[in-house]
Amino acid sequence: MQVYQKLRKMFEDGDSARDAGLVTPEDVERFDNISYGVHGEWNLLDVYRPEGAARPLPVIVSVHGGGWVYGDKDVYQHYCMSLAQHGFAVVNFSYRLSPEVLYPEHLQDINAAMHWVKAHIPEYGGDLSRLCMVGDSAGAQMAAMYACALTNPDVREQLSLDVPEVRIRAIALNCGVYEMRDGLCRVDGSASPEEGEELVRTVLGEGYGEQALCLGQPADFVTAAFPPAFVMTSNGDFLRNQQHIMIDALERNGVPYEFHEYGDETETLWHVFHCNIRSDAARACNDAECGFFRKWTSPVLRQTPAEYADRAKAFFTEGYNCSQAVLMAFAEELGMSLSMAARMASSFGGGMGRLREVCGAVSGMFMMAGLLCGYDDPKDHAEKTAHYKRIQELASEFREKNGSMICRELLGLDQTGASHHEPEKRTESYYKKRPCKELVGDAAEIAARYFMM
């Protein structure tokens, strides 16, 4: 039996025992065996998402581990579904393995999967503007290398990858291997040096050269554009001593990162312990990882929804129109001055220049959404679709709470059309008779709550 065959049996026995008895959780919806490429069963993926999720979700693409020679999406289904329970749409895919293909051909399948994500994940409730990636062990190496391909044109050229136009907002690298030859020789702690070298040839080919080894070391290709990274290992991880390779590269290039090591003197945690979703340590790790993803995929809204509502109402009371008040409540987080926000929204008060059409508070909410996560590529149909869905959901929530989003209807005015262009003076009686202040607060609170989800 060859070394890779021994590893496949050893890994399969361990994973089967680990996941015995696990089933699909009741709160997870799954879509199975979707083809993303031309290589049959090795180019299938699943999508998992929380049952009943009504809004576009941040996306996690998982690259499974297995020493480049083992694994598929079925092995990782329970781990990936546990990530979906944190409020994500999770893409779990199989890719071709060595020795059937040689590294870096595995990355061609990852690229094909990412093209599928770009084209189709909005159909499954995923928000492409909040895209993350996670990889474990060899999967971490390949996830990191693929992130380099997205952010470093030299890597794309060397790998001959036609990558999709996507941005990974955050990446998690779990128990990763960053020096490929050394990692392959360590993949089975009991293996002899001869067996380790055999595994190297299995993955890279009999006549592998320095270029193949170089393309297995993603730390050499990290740039400042590499996504923020969650780097994780454990005290019993046989690759623990390789983590500094990636951390050093992140630090050299000024890439934000968090480093987590799990286990202590009372508990030894082994390589990829986090895939055992029954364990407390795995839950703690995966909770932290999902929290990291939320941090980098959520808009930076520092206040509570109620505080944004109070801020908007305060601006309205100062005399700003309804649209200005809502947009100005978020100006700091949007990176714009109060003056710029006020000028941008100035035409939309009174239902668009006192035309009494769409409520100015709603228009302010829509502008905030566009500045926060709108699209700017006129050819990006998926992003346009996803953004229009956000806008319609915001409108629906406002309409459900207030009965309408039309200014004249909200104010109980005559339905014939525009009112006089001169705004009313802000007096005590004005604030008493008009619901506008509360409508401004509603719009700001709805927007803040929506984008904090």
Structure tokens at 28: 């997870």
Write down which residue in 281, 297, 313 finishes a domain.
Answer: 297
| Predicted local distance difference test score (pLDDT) of residue 385 | 82
Long-range contacts formed by 333-341: CB under 8 A, 24+ apart: 333/299, 333/300, 333/301, 333/302, 333/372, 334/368, 334/371, 334/372, 336/371
First to last CA, the chain: 51
Q: Which of 78, 79, 119, 71 is nearest to 95 (CA)?
A: 71
Cα separation values, 293 from 3, 112, 234, 298, Å: 36, 23, 20, 8
Q: For the chain, which ranges sit under pLDDT 70? A: 183-191, 299-300, 380, 382, 415-419, 453
Helix H or strand E segment including 204: helix 193-204
Grouping H, G, I as helix, E, B as strand and the rest as coil, residue 355 is coil
| Predicted local distance difference test score (pLDDT) of residue 299 | 63
Burial class (CB in 10 A: 0-12, 13-18, 19+), 153: exposed
Burial class (CB in 10 A: 0-12, 13-18, 19+), 264: exposed
CATH at 56: 3.40.50.1820
Same-domain check for residues 265 and 333: no
| Predicted local distance difference test score (pLDDT) of residue 362 | 97
Same-domain check for residues 291 and 309: no
Residue matched to tokens 């959780």: 25
pTM above 0.95, yes or no: no
Same-domain check for residues 289 and 319: no
Same-domain check for residues 403 and 370: yes
Same-domain check for residues 73 and 190: yes
Same-domain check for residues 282 and 316: no
Same-domain check for residues 65 and 158: yes
Same-domain check for residues 189 and 244: yes
Same-domain check for residues 360 and 221: no
Euclidean distance between CA atoms 4 and 18, whole angstroms? 21
The separation between CA 187 and the C-alpha centre of its own chain, rounded to angstroms, equals: 29
Eight-state DSSP code of residue 188: S
β strands within 239-363, DSSP E: 257-262
Give Rg (Cα) of the chain.
26
Same-domain check for residues 154 and 28: yes
Same-domain check for residues 114 and 137: yes
Write down which residue in 239, 272, 297 finishes a domain.
Answer: 297
Write down which residue in 242, 264, 297 finishes a domain.
Answer: 297
Euclidean distance between CA atoms 236 and 100, whole angstroms? 31
| Predicted local distance difference test score (pLDDT) of residue 96 | 98
Structural domain that includes position 178: 3-297
Same-domain check for residues 360 and 264: no
| Predicted local distance difference test score (pLDDT) of residue 185 | 67
Total tally of structural domains belonging to the chain: 2
Three-state DSSP string of 17-44: HHHCCCCCCCCEEEEEEEECCCCHHHHE
